[in-house]
Amino acid sequence: MSKTTELAEKLAALDISKMYENDFFLTWEKTDDEIEAVFAVADALRDLRERNKSTKIFDSGLGISIFRDNSTRTRFSFASACNLLGLEVADLDEKKSQIAHGETVRETATMISFMADVIGIRDDIYIGKGNAYMHEFVNSVTQAYHDGELEQKPTLVNLQCDIDHPTQSMADALHIIHEFGGVENLKGKKIAMSWAYSPSYGKPLSVPQGIIGLLTRFGMDVVLAHPEGYEVMSDVVEVAKKNAAENGGKFTITNDMKEAFKDADVVYPKSWAPFAAMEIRTDLYGKGDFDGIDKLEKELLAQNATHQDWLVDDEMMKLTKNGLDTLYMHPLPADIQGISCEHGEVTAEVFDRARDSLYKEASNKPYIIAAMIFLAKVKDPAAALRKLDEEANPRRAF
């Protein structure tokens, strides 16, 4: 029996009917079975590709990407995921659209969705805006579908918003599952989700929020570490506390990086901006107060500079469970001290040791995104995986 067939049987036992023709906004809105299903389909799609089997479930259709922030990994992961399933990708460049001329969200959403099966949106810059925009977009295409303007409602995949980065956190979780030999082995493992110094400001909170909102579901000992003043959204902290209580894990917050790293099985050091400051920035942009934005940026950079000791070096790694061999994670690109910046999140020595693992971590994302699309577009995903496995169609003929 192939790995894909084994995963299909596992999938068939899960209650995932609500994923069909649905969207993916936040991981904590999904059930345990639905989260498990994404992992199973992602692993199956990778297995099929590795065995040179075609994974195309579409013979036409579009995946529309809307990136309102810069991206490399997520942009190409979305394109790869769509291509893997047989969809072509069209990117909406809002600067070349009619949005500047007053085109509404309802109109934009409908006009780009005539042949679309999936819409991937990244909108992570402004607090209180990104996830709300995604919901407005989905409401618009849903209404257009019900009104007969669209033959189908495209599925939305959150490629990062102000609250969560589900494709990243799911890819990260799958990496940890692979490293520890199964999700059942995560219980009790300690992960330090830590702030780290960066010479820039304004990095989204959605990565640390996504990690604490997801990994607390697996009974892990999740520690969120940051200097005072770098708090994340309180609503997400409550999600993490609830998850930990329900799943036999732990969730704690510390202002001491060394305390977080002590005896950790996994470390995830990543810079982010203070939630309170990002609320102020959003308000300033709304008012068009660019002098205020410039002043805020200078204040935040000065605040960051007082925490340059929040750095991952060999001495910090030696505090962990397995020392220099402990699993180091990052969504990339990292601020590498002495390479990409004078002072940064991590030393070149630590990063270079982890490079292969980091690239494997990133390689999960196309499969995670493809799995989200697959589960939303295929009514019987277990049967579909079996069919793909049984068919002799090669991905490449020669």
Residue 142 in this model has a pLDDT that exceeds 90: yes
CB 198 within 8 A of CB 104: no
* The pLDDT value given to residue 101: 61
Percentage of the chain modeled with pLDDT above 70: 98
391 pLDDT band, cuts 50/70/90, is confident
Those residues with Cβ within 8 angstroms of residue 293's Cβ, 6 or more apart along the chain or in another chain: 281, 284, 285
Average pLDDT for residues 225-241, to the nearest whole number? 97
Residue 98 in this model has a pLDDT that exceeds 80: no
Those residues with Cβ within 8 angstroms of residue 93's Cβ, 6 or more apart along the chain or in another chain: none
- Separation of alpha carbons 342 and 249, rounded Å: 38
* The pLDDT value given to residue 172: 98
Q: Which domains does the chain have, with CATH numbers?
A: 3-164+365-390 (3.40.50.1370), 166-360 (3.40.50.1370)
Average pLDDT for residues 203-209, to the nearest whole number? 95
Average pLDDT for residues 175-197, to the nearest whole number? 97
* The pLDDT value given to residue 99: 66
Residue 270 in this model has a pLDDT that exceeds 70: yes
* The pLDDT value given to residue 125: 87
Q: Which tokens sit at 17?
A: 């009917």
Q: Which tokens sit at 139?
A: 């409401």
DSSP assigned state of 62: E
Average pLDDT, the chain: 95
Phi then psi for residue 19, to 5 deg, are -75, -25
